[in-house]
Amino acid sequence: MPPSSTPRPSLADQAYGILLDRLVMLDIAPGDPINETSLTAELGVGRTPVREALKRLEAEHLVQSFPRRGTFAARAEISDLRSITEMRLILEPVGTRKAAEDARDAQREQLRALASDIAALRTSEPSLRTLLEFDLATHRAIYRLVENAYMREVLFRLDNQATRLWWSVIEEVPSVANHIAGHHALLTAVADGDPGTAADLAQAHVAEFHAQVQAALLRAAEL
């Protein structure tokens, strides 16, 4: 059997992926301490891979290290919302357009399958976590198709931060399911190779996200 063309992720990459999702989904809450010893035992890897993963996460502003205090999950700063949205409004349409232009046939079929899974949510009552997982899956599937590595990296980082902000106010957002349902049209436009529609939908999606988070903040402030 020929060797796989996809390189096996390193232990540091595996640790990074696990910790990334925990931080983004707030399984590790903002401000929580991160214990390297506990992580090495839990993940079954050595200290070096964990430390390499934490260095990457610190560079992405998801963890913070303090001398003599340790490492902590970064705060989800609502004050960053405007700056994150400004960047996403510029890059999301461009990246999504490129994804619609550059995707290969097999990748387009994967997007259609994900769109079908999202459509099926309408007949169920998914949890907020499930909805947010589909949101992440949609954005990540599209970003992976962007051949510009610099743009792809920034898109991933911005979406990670945006998801943390959304999680922090999610209980005050009344229409999460409707927002996620809109991903069906976005994925379909990319899969169909319709870059103009895909870019327009991506921009509208970011604007809607921003409006929902702002409205949630206002509702929380009124309580």
Q: Is the pLDDT of residue 3 over 50?
A: no
- The C-alpha atoms of residue 92 and residue 205 are separated, in whole angstroms, by 9
Q: Which residues contact 47 (CB under 8 A, 6 or more apart)?
A: 36, 40
Neighbours of 46 (CB within 10 A): 12
pLDDT grade, residue 142 (50/70/90)? very high
pLDDT in tens, 154-212: 999 999 999 999 998 888 887 899 999 999 999 999 999 999 999 999 999 999 999 99
- The C-alpha atoms of residue 98 and residue 205 are separated, in whole angstroms, by 17
| φ, ψ of residue 29 in degrees (nearest 5) | -70, 150
pLDDT of residue 74: 95
Give the global pTM: 0.90
